Amino acid sequence: MADKDIRAELIDKFARMIVDNNLEELARTYLDLYKPVSRLGGAFIFIPGFVFFEVLGAWTHEIGNMLIDNPETNIDRILTRIDELEQEKLNLKTEESRDAVRRDDRSFSIVDWIKRKVLMH
């Protein structure tokens, strides 16, 4: 049970680091390319991505061990978590933009009124 908790925490940290640094597409590309051949070469195929993972944090060896041990499942978990975090980030941006529009609607300056009524329509 503890191993699953550690793995879930590592996946979350890794996915969060990717999303926070806007590296979603790069991570998806690398992990999607790595997944089909992961069983063939194991650790040797992981070596080209080592630099990518080294940039992301201090837990490179833990991520490498996780990807070597049952790679397809762990890669799917990482990609799923990246998608979840990316969706949360998108929802937060949408909510912030709605709040900004609400603030503009409460503004009573003549300039803002002209912008809203004349220029926006």
Domain assignments of the chain as residue spans, ordered by start: 2-119
Distance between first and last Cα of the chain: 58
CB atoms within 10 A of CB 78: 22
> pLDDT-based confidence at 85, cuts 50/70/90?
very high
- Pick the closest to residue 53 from 43, 63, 45, 44 (CA basis): 63
What H or E segment, with its residue span, contains residue 21?
none
pLDDT in tens, 24-54: 898 888 888 878 777 776 555 555 555 566 6
In contact, 34 and 78? CB cutoff 8 Å = no
> What is the pLDDT, as a whole number, of residue 80?
95
Q: What is the mean pLDDT of the chain?
A: 76
- Model pTM? 0.67
